[in-house]
């Protein structure tokens, strides 16, 4: 049996260059999006129940992503004609207008992103890539076909990445962490002198666990 080689970008890698057709016309990804955050997410197939609920959920949060300066892009290995018809169906039957482009990928594109998992069939799994303005992959999530995603977590992840770039690390469940709420974690001291100063400069549980207010 021929071995199937699966490629996938790793955190910190530049997002693979893709020349694709979408429901909004041809796109070069990430070239056309350089200087912007974007979320590219794949779905197994058009005209399927879980995927339909996901697309509606992403669209319901479209304005939140826009406020974050973050573009949404959908993707599956269905043809663009299928994408167009599905988007029309969602508008006609569910009264939701899908405003983001959907990529008509092929197996080659899907393999570049590690979206085809042989153990899960021939459709793309539910992948999410969050990419920063430098076209670097910052976060990756994979879900199986049978489990829909939580779009509030995708929104939270984009916000958290943007905040952490400017202010420091964020805690579990940020901005609603059980210990420190929305406060920002200060990097641990790396020498004894700084460790002694930490509790005087910040609120701390110990010198290695200090936090500061979120800058609004």
Does 177 score more than 90 pLDDT?
yes
* Span(s) in the chain for CATH 3.40.30.10: 18-148
Would residue 70 show up in a list of annotated catalytic residues for this protein?
A: no
- Please report the pLDDT score of residue 76 as a whole number: 87
State the greatest distance between any 2 C-alpha atoms of the chain, in Å, as a whole number.
65
- Tell me the whole-structure pTM to 2 decimals: 0.91
DSSP-assigned beta bridge partners for residue 131: 38, 137
Identify the pLDDT of residue 71. Answer: 98
Mean pLDDT of the 43-64 span: 94
Radius of gyration of the chain (CA): 20
- What is the mean predicted confidence (pLDDT) over 156-182? 96
pLDDT at 103: 94
Phi, psi of 16 (to 5 degrees): -55, 145
From the options 3.30.70.370, 3.30.930.10, 1.10.1040.10, 3.40.30.10, give the CATH code of 18-148: 3.40.30.10
Which tens digit of pLDDT belongs to each residue from 82-106?
Answer: 999 999 999 999 999 999 999 998 7
Between 205 and 122, the more confident residue is: 205
Would you give the DSSP letter of residue 131?
E
The one catalytic residue among 51, 70, 204, 210:
51
pLDDT of residue 44: 83
Closest alpha carbon to 20 in 9, 12, 10, 31: 31
Over the chain, what is the mean pLDDT? Answer: 91
Q: Note every long-range contact of 21-26, with CB atoms under 8 Å and residues 24 or more positions apart, other chains counting.
A: 21/80, 21/103, 21/104, 22/73, 22/80, 22/83, 22/101, 22/102, 22/103, 22/104, 23/80, 23/83, 23/84, 23/87, 23/101, 23/102, 23/104, 24/101, 25/101
> Quick one: CATH architecture of 168-216?
2-Layer Sandwich (3.30)
| Distance (Å, whole) CA 107 – CA 167 | 40
Any idea of the CA torsion for 160, 161, 163, 167, to the nearest 10 degrees?
120
Answer whether residue 107 shows pLDDT above 80.
no
* CA nearest neighbour of 40 among 139, 153, 174: 139
For the chain, residues classed under CATH 3.30.1020.10 are: 168-216
Question: Average of pLDDT values for 30-59?
Answer: 94
What is the number of other CB atoms lying within 10 angstroms of the CB of residue 33?
A: 19
CB pairs under 8 A, 24+ apart, for 188-194?
none
Backbone angles phi, psi at 55, to 5 degrees: -65, -40
Supply the pLDDT for residue 5. Answer: 57
pLDDT tens for each residue of 121-155 = 666 778 899 999 999 999 999 888 888 899 999 99
pLDDT at 114: 76
Q: Where are the alpha helices (DSSP H) in 29-138?
A: 49-60, 62-67, 80-94, 107-112
**Which tokens go with 19?**
């020349």
């Amino acid at each position: 049996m021929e071995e199937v080689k699966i490629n996938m970008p790793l955190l910190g890698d530049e997002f693979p260059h893709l020349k694709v057709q979408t429901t909004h016309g041809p796109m070069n990804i990430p070239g056309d999006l350089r200087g912007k955050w974007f979320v590219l997410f794949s779905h197994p197939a058009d005209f399927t129940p879980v995927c339909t609920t996901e697309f509606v959920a992403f669209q319901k949060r479209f304005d939140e992503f826009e406020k974050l300066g973050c573009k949404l892009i959908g993707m599956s290995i269905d043809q663009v004609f299928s994408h167009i018809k599905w988007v029309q169906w969602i508008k006609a039957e569910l009264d939701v207008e899908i405003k983001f482009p959907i990529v008509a990928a092929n197996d080659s594109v899907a393999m570049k992103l590690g979206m085809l998992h042989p153990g899960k069939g021939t459709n793309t799994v539910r992948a999410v890539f969050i990419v920063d303005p430098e076209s670097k992959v910052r976060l990756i999530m994979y879900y199986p076909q049978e489990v829909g995603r939580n779009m509030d977590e995708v929104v939270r992840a984009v916000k958290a990445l943007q905040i952490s770039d400017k202010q420091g690390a964020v805690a579990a469940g940020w901005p609603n962490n059980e210990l420190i709420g929305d406060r920002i974690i200060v990097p641990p001291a790396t020498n004894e002198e700084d460790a002694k100063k930490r509790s005087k400069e910040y609120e701390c549980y110990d010198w290695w666990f200090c936090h500061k207010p979120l800058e609004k």
